[in-house]
Amino acid sequence: MKRLLTGLTAAALLVACAPSGQDNDGAGSGSADNGPKETVTFTLNWVPYGEHAPFYYGVQKGFYADEGIDLKIEPGSGSGTTIKSVAQGQTMFGWADTPPLLNAITTGMPVKSVGVFLQKGPASIEFLSDKNIKSIQDLKGKTVGGTPGDAMYATFPALLAANDMQPTDVTVVNMDAANKIAQLAEGQVDAIMGFFHDQGPTIEARTGKKVDHLLFADSGLNMLGTGIVVSDETMSSQKDLVGKFVRATQKSWAEAVKHPEDAAKAMAELAENEPPLEVLVKQLKLAEPLLQLNTAGEPGVNIDMQWSDTIELMSKYSSLKEPGEPSKYWDGSFAKGDGS
């Protein structure tokens, strides 16, 4: 079925690129659905999991097509790699965690956030419930698996520092991302670093064992999570397109959290190598509270204080040098909270 869908997508692209101006009919109903679409590449922070369902839902429902966008979603291999791909022009937009974005910008990468959606970060320490770990302090003398290059690995020393611990208090075991779940289940490590709403449901589904977690955000590091990253050059030369992409993404998230089962089904139909449907639904439902919509109003709308707090924490506990103001890292003019 997915091979068939891929073939249909390729055929649609041929129609979209044809000079005749014929309508490339999609699922949307907006006026921008008439005529050719602009192909836009969007690289995720990781291989597809439930947090990404809103993007596939937006494609299926035509929210991106309504803005004149033919969205091509690519899997990622860590926020740091995605940010680098955006900076080097290998992808137009990226979905990445905020702490590695701050570090990348201070090293000179010409990128910015145009809106963080998970405004409470999902970074966590995960472990089987029988480990009886109740706080970060309980990690003393234990082994914790992490993947070099991902968001949690870079921030873990800051988590220890925020909890009055030294790097030597914990043994960090470098692991390939694909093996972390198996190694945790087999007892090769006591805990792993990961996004709780992604790996937790996956571990439980594969092992039948209950998984608990400690959020970085509840343990002294309440920092912004994942959002849209774009290059300075794209923001300058294609400002209108950036606005359209952000607007379509806001609508996709707003509708997906209202209809998580439908969003998960859309992802199951359109994505490759995604988790089972029931895991996708659980992952998306766990992500919804992280949007903090009771304060943000609409997905992706941030305020200066959120960015200032994240910058301060990164400066205090991590290696962020010459931190600067929020405007160094974030342009809030695209994600509107008034529906405009």
What are 241-258's pLDDT values in tens digits?
999 999 999 999 999 999
Q: What is the pLDDT of residue 7?
A: 40
Residues 123-218: name the CATH superfamily: Periplasmic binding protein-like II (3.40.190.10)
**Mean pLDDT for the chain?**
88
Confidence of residue 338 (pLDDT cuts 50, 70, 90): low
The residues near 43 (Cβ < 8 Å, ≥ 6 apart) are 74, 75, 76, 82, 85, 86, 90, 91, 93, 94, 95
Residues 2-120+224-328: name the CATH superfamily: Periplasmic binding protein-like II (3.40.190.10)
**pLDDT per residue as tens digits for the range 95-124:** 999 999 999 999 999 999 999 999 999 999
Q: What is the pLDDT of residue 332?
A: 96
Strands of the sheet containing 38-43, edge to edge, are 69-74, 38-43, 93-97, 226-231, 111-116
Q: What is the pLDDT of residue 49?
A: 96
What integer is the mean pLDDT of 133-142?
Answer: 97
Residue 24 has pLDDT above 60, yes or no: no
Q: Of 26 and 333, which is predicted with more confidence? A: 333
Percentage of residues in the chain with pLDDT exceeding 90?
A: 73
Q: What is the pLDDT of residue 154?
A: 83
Residue ranges, comma separated, of all CATH 3.40.190.10 domains in the chain are 2-120+224-328, 123-218
Q: What is the pLDDT of residue 256?
A: 98
pTM: 0.84
Q: What is the pLDDT of residue 229?
A: 98
Q: Of 34 and 28, which is predicted with more confidence? A: 34
Cβ-based burial of 282 (10 A; exposed 0-12, middle 13-18, buried ≥19): buried
Residue 178 DSSP label: G
Residue 29 DSSP label: -
Q: Dig out the tokens for 324 from the structure.
A: 């600067």
**pLDDT per residue as tens digits for the range 312-326:** 999 998 878 889 999
**pLDDT per residue as tens digits for the range 44-72:** 999 999 999 999 999 999 999 999 999 99
**pLDDT per residue as tens digits for the range 148-204:** 877 788 889 999 999 999 999 999 999 987 788 889 988 899 999 999 998 889 889
Query: Count of CB atoms within 10 A of residue 305's CB?
Result: 9
Q: Of 258 and 295, which is predicted with more confidence? A: 258
**pLDDT per residue as tens digits for the range 205-233:** 888 899 999 999 999 999 999 999 999 99
